[in-house]
Amino acid sequence: MALTEKVASPLLYLQAQTRWRPVEIAFWLATLLPYVLFPNYLSLASQIAITALFALSLDLILGYAGIVSLGHAAFFGVGAYTAGLISKHGWGEPLTGLAMAAVAAGLVGYATSFVICRFRHLALIMLTLGFGLLLAELANSAGWLTGGMDGLQGIHTWKLLGYFAFDLYGYAAYTYALAVLFLLFLFARRLIHSPFGLSLRGIRENPIRMPAIGAPSRAHIRTIYTIAACIAGVAGALLTQTTETVSLDSLGFERSAEVVVMLVLGGAGRLYGGLVGAIIYMVARDQFSGVVPQYWYFWIGIMLVGVVVFLPNGILGGLAKIASRWSRP
């Protein structure tokens, strides 16, 4: 039938876009390698998985909706402290702890989203920076709640699903972090390929045109900001539960800036950029952990300048360019 033929093609084309590529499957299979190849580094691997989740949450607002946030660690910190406080006061069950952290971070995200959605450019950057710094100051001052500079003490995470204990070897921690990362990744992937995901890309591409096609941009931004806050909160809670500590640097400016660097390094707006960036950054930092902080930041600075000038779409963007040049005869 002519009509079916005509309309089958765009649908099939779009469906083909959402299919899992072989390189994606390879990536996720590779995440199982640490069990086999680096069994001594499983706690680092779980740190990487947690950071990757955090970077993924930032990608949703920065890479897809175009919101430049220099204060995203606020939600990470809220999640981390929520999980820590719940555990400290007697309830150490990990999965419900995650859920409560997500809700807490989501509430803070929802509240701030009403302000965030109304601004762009410098005002927006300043507001995200301001909120992040404000929350960090609050956490610092409220030592009775947060433990101040010393952080929270007395966190003990119960066994996962009543069976798997978190031990020094890190098997449980890595499995836990990786599983949560994968599940939330699936969620993000689905969201990106939904009509809402398309709207987000529209906002990023041309925020002025959106109202001109009847789009309620602000409502969209509030939604994604809240979702990203929830996911960041989960990442923070994971960190607390697997390391059984939480301190002020979970919501400091350094953490906000670092996650932006990682995302940009990997390539924003490609879903995997945050993951790739996190892996490279964390591995590099671990390898150079003996280096004095200023010199580490020196190389980060060089890298940032290099990425902006030579690799504007990050590593994944650069790889995509090479791949498309190769496929052209």
Partner 1 sequence: MSAPALSTRGLAKKFGSLVVAGDIEIELPQGVRYALIGPNGAGKTTLINLMTGMLRPDAGRIFLGDADITALPPEQRVRLGLVRTYQINSLFPHLTALESVTLAVCERTGVARTWWRQLTAYPHEIDEAYEILSALALVSVCHRLTRELAYGQQRLLEIALALATRPKVLLLDEPAAGVPREESKELFAAIAGLSRDITVLFIEHDMELVFRFATRVIVMVGGGVLVEGTPKEIASDPQVRAVYLGKATGKALPEPHRERPHG
Partner 2 sequence: MLPPVFGVLFDGLAFGMLLFLLSVGQSVTLGMMNFINLAHCSFAMLGGYVTVVLMTRYGWPFFATLPCAFIAAAVVSVGFERTLYRRLYRASDLDQVLLTIGIVFISVAVAAYVFGTDQQPLQLPAYLRSSLTFMGTRFAVYRLILLGLALAITLALVLGVEFTRFGARIRAAVDNERMARGLGIDVDRTFAVTFALGSGLAGLGGALAIEIIGLDPSFALTYLVYVLIVVSVGGLGSISGSFAAAVVLGISDVAGKYYIPQLGAFLIYLVMISLLMWRPLGLFGRR
Q: Which span (35-43, 220-228, 276-284, 300-308) binds partner 2, by CB under 8 A? A: 300-308
Of 165, 187, 192, nearest in space to 176 by CA: 165
Q: Is 206 in the site for partner 2 (CB under 8 A)?
A: no
DSSP-based three-state secondary structure for 258: helix
Alpha helices, DSSP H, located in the chain: 2-18, 22-30, 33-37, 42-59, 73-88, 94-116, 121-141, 143-146, 171-192, 195-205, 209-212, 217-243, 253-266, 273-287, 293-310, 314-327
Angle at 202 between CA 258 and CA 131, to 5 degrees: 35
Q: Which of residues 63-82 bind partner 2 (CB under 8 A)?
A: 68, 70
The DSSP line for 170-188 is -HHHHHHHHHHHHHHHHHH
Q: Going by C-beta distance under 8 Å and a sequence separation of 6 or more, which residues neighbour residue 111? A: none
Among 162, 309, 327, 329, binds partner 2 (CB under 8 A): 309
The interface with partner 2 within residues 236-275 (CB under 8 A) comprises: 257, 260-261, 264, 268
Q: Which is nearer to partner 2, 127 or 210 (CB)?
A: 127
**Do 54 and 69 touch, CB atoms closer than 8 A?**
no
Sole window of 29-37, 184-192, 235-243, 299-307 interacting with partner 2 (rule: CB under 8 A): 299-307
- In the complex with partner 2, the residue whose CB is nearer, 99 or 300, is 300
Distance CA 139, CA 74 (A): 10
10 Å Cβ neighbour count for 109? 27
The binding site for partner 1 (CB under 8 A) comprises: 6-7, 10-11, 13-15, 18, 190-191, 193-199, 201-202, 205-206, 208-217, 219-220, 223, 227
| x/- map, 39-58, partner 2, by CB under 8 A | --------------------
Minimum Å distance from CB 39 to partner 1?
38
Residues 86-115 as x/- pattern, contact with partner 2 by CB under 8 A: -----------------------------x
Shorter beta-carbon distance to partner 1: residue 97 or 197: 197
Q: Establish if 280 lies at the interface with partner 2 (CB under 8 A).
A: no
DSSP single-letter state for residue 244: S
Q: Tell me whether residue 12 or residue 111 sits nearer to partner 2 (CB atom).
A: 111
110/112 Cα distance (integer angstroms) = 6
Question: Taking Cα atoms as reference points, which of 55, 72, 80, 76 lies closest to residue 132?
Answer: 72
Binding residues for partner 2, rule: CB under 8 A, are 62, 68, 70, 115, 118-119, 121-123, 125-127, 129-131, 133-134, 137-138, 140-141, 257, 260-261, 264, 268, 292, 294-295, 297-298, 300-305, 307-309, 312
